[in-house]
């Protein structure tokens, strides 16, 4: 396992999960080398999964290193992102986010009203563009107008040559890493490695390219307000500006500074729910007062929209009931999207008044 004198979190021998949770005193984000997940050494794979479980139970955040995704591919996406956000507003507006949640979200286009960790009244100080799992216009899901099922919107190749190729290569690489983490999570719970695979046969994925201009000092104003993520796992590539902070159980905001060749991974709400809260969906936020532009590229890997998620039996102690009832992932996700994104709320209001 990687050790870093600044970032490596020491756990005392014999410290139980409950002790760590009760302390709530993590002050750094741990690092996990996942290179074993790409090999065939079963012992090394299980050891990695065991360490992963400890981090997901006590912190909900970690840095993932040892993956084979080239730095050049990560940086190519960042450069593509910068080129897109540098376009004139009228050009970006041609890709304005559509009913299928694909496309450009203008600056201050979302307010996280569903946050369970803060009362949020001011919009996020960012602009972004979303690319989801590709669904052709002639796909049966698109023809049936199922939620979030349709083709992505792409910039004109004459304006941004190579943009789509860069994004699609990266999404494929991130999908492979995410599936490795799904299997490690299954193993960490004592399940067969492939036991969760069926929930991700048609995964719901989002690559969100984000641009955070430097923001003024203002009460309640954030690049991204305090929140937890909706889904299964997030894998985030940061630039070197910083600004991401994670809330520990003592209520302190812990910086998650950039670490070269790493992804920040965190538990989303649906994984916490699936694990009966054994895994922790930890609040986090972004504040960019650096005086520089910040660019990030979170990749969200979630179950299929038509899968029902209910507490895994292995996570429900004998003699107790699950904390949550079963939920159709698509219904769960759309409720949050409809509440947090201004363009969705506007459409809903228009439909109600029709």
Residue 256: per-residue pLDDT: 98
Q: What is the CATH number of the domain that holds 326?
A: 2.60.120.330
Structural domain boundaries enclosing 247 = 70-255+283-353
Are 265 and 316 a contacting pair, CB within 8 Å? no
Q: Does any domain span residue 125?
A: yes
pLDDT at 345: 59
Residue 269 lies in a domain: no
Q: What is the pTM of this model?
A: 0.90
Q: Which of 274, 276, 261 is nearest to 233 (CA)?
A: 274
Residue 143 backbone phi and psi in degrees, to 5? -65, -30
* Radius of gyration for the alpha carbons in the chain, expressed in angstroms and rounded: 20
Kindly tell me the burial class for residue 116, based on how many C-beta atoms sit within 10 Å of its own C-beta (0-12, 13-18, 19 or more): exposed
Assess contact for 286 and 253: CB atoms under 8 A: no
Let me know if residue 136 belongs to a domain.
yes
CA terminus-to-terminus distance, the chain: 59
Does residue 65 sit within a domain?
Answer: no
pLDDT of amino acid 7: 34
Q: What pLDDT does 171 receive?
A: 98
Q: Kindly state whether residue 188 falls inside one of the protein's structural domains.
A: yes
Kindly list the distances between the CA atom of residue 56 and the CA atoms of 98, 100, 169, 333, in Å, as whole numbers in the listed order. 34, 31, 28, 22
In a domain, 278, yes or no: no
Which residues lie closer than 8 Å to 86 by C-beta, 6 or more apart? none
Element (H, E) at 41: none
- 334 lies in a domain? yes
Question: What per-residue confidence (pLDDT) applies to 349?
Answer: 56
How buried is residue 138: exposed, middle or buried, by Cβ count under 10 Å (0-12/13-18/19+)? exposed
Return averaged pLDDT per consecutive 10 residues of the chain, 354 residues in all.
34 35 72 98 98 97 98 98 97 96 93 70 91 97 96 95 98 98 98 98 98 92 93 98 95 96 98 98 96 98 98 97 98 91 63 54
In 3-state terms, the chain is what percent helix, strand and coil (to 5)? Answer: 30, 20, 50
Q: In this predicted structure, what is the pLDDT of residue 110?
A: 84
Domain count, the chain: 1
């Amino acid at each position: 396992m990687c050790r870093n004198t600044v970032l490596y979190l020491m756990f005392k021998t014999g410290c139980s999960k409950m002790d760590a949770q009760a302390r709530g005193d993590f002050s750094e984000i741990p690092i996990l080398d996942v290179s074993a997940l790409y090999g065939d050494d079963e012992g090394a794979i299980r050891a990695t999964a065991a360490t992963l479980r400890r981090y997901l139970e006590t912190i909900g955040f970690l840095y993932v290193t040892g993956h084979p995704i080239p730095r050049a591919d990560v940086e190519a996406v960042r450069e593509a992102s910068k080129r897109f956000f540098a376009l004139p507003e009228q050009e970006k507006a041609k890709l304005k986010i559509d009913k299928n949640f694909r496309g450009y979200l203008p600056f201050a286009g979302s307010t996280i009203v569903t946050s369970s960790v803060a009362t949020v009244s001011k919009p996020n100080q960012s602009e972004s563009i979303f690319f989801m799992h590709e669904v052709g216009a002639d796909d049966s899901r698109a023809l049936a107008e199922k939620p979030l099922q349709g083709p992505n919107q792409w910039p004109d190749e004459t304006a941004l040559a190579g943009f789509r190729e860069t994004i699609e290569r990266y999404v494929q690489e991130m999908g492979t890493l995410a599936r490795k983490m799904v299997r490690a999570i299954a193993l960490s719970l004592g399940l067969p490695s492939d036991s969760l695979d069926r929930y991700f046969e048609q995964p719901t994925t989002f690559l969100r390219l984000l641009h955070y201009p430097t923001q003024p000092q203002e009460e309640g104003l954030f690049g991204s307000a305090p929140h937890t993520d909706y889904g299964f796992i997030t894998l985030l590539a940061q630039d070197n500006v910083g600004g991401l902070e994670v809330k520990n159980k003592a209520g302190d905001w812990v910086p998650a500074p950039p670490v070269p060749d790493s992804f920040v991974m965190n538990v989303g709400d649906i994984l916490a729910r699936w694990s009966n809260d054994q895994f922790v969906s930890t609040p986090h936020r972004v504040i960019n007062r650096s005086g520089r532009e910040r660019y990030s590229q979170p990749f969200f890997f979630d179950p299929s929209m038509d899968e029902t998620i209910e507490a895994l039996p292995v996570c429900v102690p004998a003699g107790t009931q699950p904390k949550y009832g079963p939920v159709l992932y698509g219904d769960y996700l759309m409720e949050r999207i409809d509440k947090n994104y201004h363009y969705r709320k506007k459409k809903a209001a228009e439909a109600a008044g029709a």
